[in-house]
Amino acid sequence: MGQTRYEHVTTKQTLNRVKAERMPFDWSINPYRGCGHGCSFCYARGFQSFIGMGYEDEFQHHIFMKMNAAEALQQQLTIAAKKHEYDLEAMRRSIGEVTIGTATDPYQPIEGKAEITRECLKLLAKYRISTNITTRSPLVMRDLDILTRMEDVSVNISLNTMDAAVIRMLEPASPLPAARLETIHRLSDAGVDTSLFVAPVLPLITDAEDGIRGLLTSARERGAVYAMISLLRLSRDVKKWYLATLKLHFPQLVQSYRELYSQGAYAEGDYIRSFKAMAALLLAEFKLDKRTAEMAETIPSLPRRMPEPSKPVTGKELMPEVEQLSFPF
């Protein structure tokens, strides 16, 4: 498809209730639909059909930007504050955790200019909402001026291999492994609770124990306090695109994948059980299986210019507009 088209859209609500019981969060925010990183295995490709879009190149090259996301979020949070008579602690407990980036990367390339995610983050900070962010991008470091002022925030950096060549083949526009590991380091150094998401693990490509061990070692050395390891899930539409990508770069694996995923979206049962057992042992070994993990001795930070916002946040921007309440920073 080549050139990327960015389409401005409006949204009625930015906070969306997550109804699935297996999800560990209550609400989600996705400032964009589609993703410029173009990961071939992304499960969000399967959501394109909900709006009459394709799961192929269109997912990467036609990005919908929710330009009023912050305004819609402000409305939702204002209503919630009034409902709880401006008791923000009660409001915070009622809402629970909000996760940014469940069906798109909130720090994909266009966010560098658009700053839609940043504006939403300011509001979550203002109302003291527990926030979790999942991204592949070092651009999240731009928002350290907000993250370091939030009372309850965590960031998950997704990375499934240290092999830059594999990343380029299967995640054509994603940041390379070294940049993502540095992001873990920088965030951790700044006091932000940072985790590694080894996801999705790609059978026969990134599932070797030595490779995952290397990832966990690097993340632990850079201050990660938790890690999650998750196997590839292939819905029908995503499977078509992913297998077509494998045919280009790993043609010898296509038939093996067809057999491994012959029963549906999940790999064959014995493979799953074996892999999960190995993953659990590794997480326990590195003490990354619980968010209460003790900090390991970290390697020194590397001097490097970090991404910067167009305008630094001010304390006033993060103060709730409720005169009778005072929240010191």
Q: How far apart (Å, rounded) are the C-alpha atoms in residues 302 and 271?
A: 39
User: What digits encode the pLDDT tens for the residues 231-282?
Assistant: 999 999 899 999 999 999 999 999 999 999 999 999 999 999 999 999 999 9
Token duo for residue 42: 């992304």
Fold of 156-303: pyruvate-formate lyase- activating enzyme (3.80.30)
Q: Do the beta carbons of residue 162 and residue 215 sit within 8 Å?
A: yes
Q: How far apart (Å, rounded) are the C-alpha atoms in residues 291 and 122?
A: 25
Angle between helices 209-221 and 269-285 (to 10 degrees): 30
pLDDT of 306 reads 82
In Å, how far from its chain's centre is CA 20? Answer: 18
Q: Do the beta carbons of residue 128 and residue 138 sit within 8 Å?
A: no
**How many of the other CB atoms lie within 10 Å of CB of 50?**
8
Q: Fill in the DSSP letter of residue 107.
A: T
pLDDT of 59 reads 87
Report residues of the chain scoring pLDDT below 50.
55, 293, 295, 323-329
Of 217, 222, 132, the C-alpha closest to 182 is 222
Q: How far apart (Å, rounded) are the C-alpha atoms in residues 184 and 237?
A: 32
User: What digits encode the pLDDT tens for the residues 20-30?
Assistant: 666 666 899 99
Token duo for residue 7: 């389409």
Q: Do the beta carbons of residue 291 and residue 225 sit within 8 Å?
A: yes
Q: How far apart (Å, rounded) are the C-alpha atoms in residues 280 and 270?
A: 16
Parallel, antiparallel, or unpaired: how do β-strands 97-100 and 130-135 relate?
parallel
Domain borders along the chain are 6-151, 156-303
Angle between helices 88-95 and 69-83 (to 10 degrees): 110
**How many of the other CB atoms lie within 10 Å of CB of 245?**
18
